[in-house]
Amino acid sequence: MSKVYIALQDNDVSRYIVEAIEEDNPEVTIIHNPAMIRIEAEGHLVVKRETVEEKLGRDWDLQELHLNLITLGGNVDEDDDRLSLTWNV
């Protein structure tokens, strides 16, 4: 299975998004590079609004992800509650 990935700017909001991603996707690998955090997973990764809100302690619109996003890889599917990245093979 190929790896999907998402990279976020290393800042105070991303720290909570990364915590949420780790909680919802226990198998992920987290790589710290200067100024950025890269998160990889085999085949599938999901960012859930509810978990991020819990970590941040405030409402969080999933589209706010764009403010801290650097790049991603995989087929994207997004609705109000979750963004998922997938490779099928």
Partner 1 sequence: MAAKKLSLKDKYALLTRDLDWEFSYEERKEAFPFEEFEGIKITDWSKWEDPFRLTMDAYWKYQAEKEKKLYAIFDAFAQNNGQLNVTDPRYVNAIKIFLTAISPQEYQAHQGFAHVGRQYGGVGARVACQMQSLDELRHVQTQVHAMSQYNKYFDGFQNWSQMQDRLWYLSVPVSFFHDARSAGPFEFLVAIGFSFEYVLTNLLFVPFMSGAAYNGDMATVTFGFSAQSDEARHMTLGLEVIKFLLEQHEDNVPIVQKWIDKWFWRGTRLLTVVAMMMDYMLPNKVMSWKEAWGMYFEEAGGALFKDLARYGIRMPKFADQIEKEKEHASHQAWWTFYTYGQAAGFHTWIPTDEELDWLSEKYPETFDKYYRPRWEYAKQLEAEGKRFYNGTLLQLCSTCQLPLMFTEMDDPTLISQRETHYHGEHYHFCSDGCKEIFEEEPEKYVQSWLPVHQIYQGNCGGPDLPGILEFCGINVGNDNLDIKGSPDEQRWKQWKGVA
Greatest CA span in the chain, whole angstroms?
37
The binder of partner 1 chosen from 19, 24, 36, 56 (CB under 8 A):
36
CA separation for the pair 32, 78 (Å, rounded):
25
CB 17, CB 8: distance < 8 Å: yes
| Residue choice 2, 29, 30, 50 for contact with partner 1 (CB under 8 A) | 2
DSSP classification of residue 61:
-
Q: Does 29 bind partner 1 (CB under 8 A)?
A: no
CB of 85 to partner 1, least distance (A): 10
What is the per-residue binding string for partner 1 in 60-89, x denoting contact by CB under 8 A?
--xxx-xxxxxxxxxxxxxxx------xxx
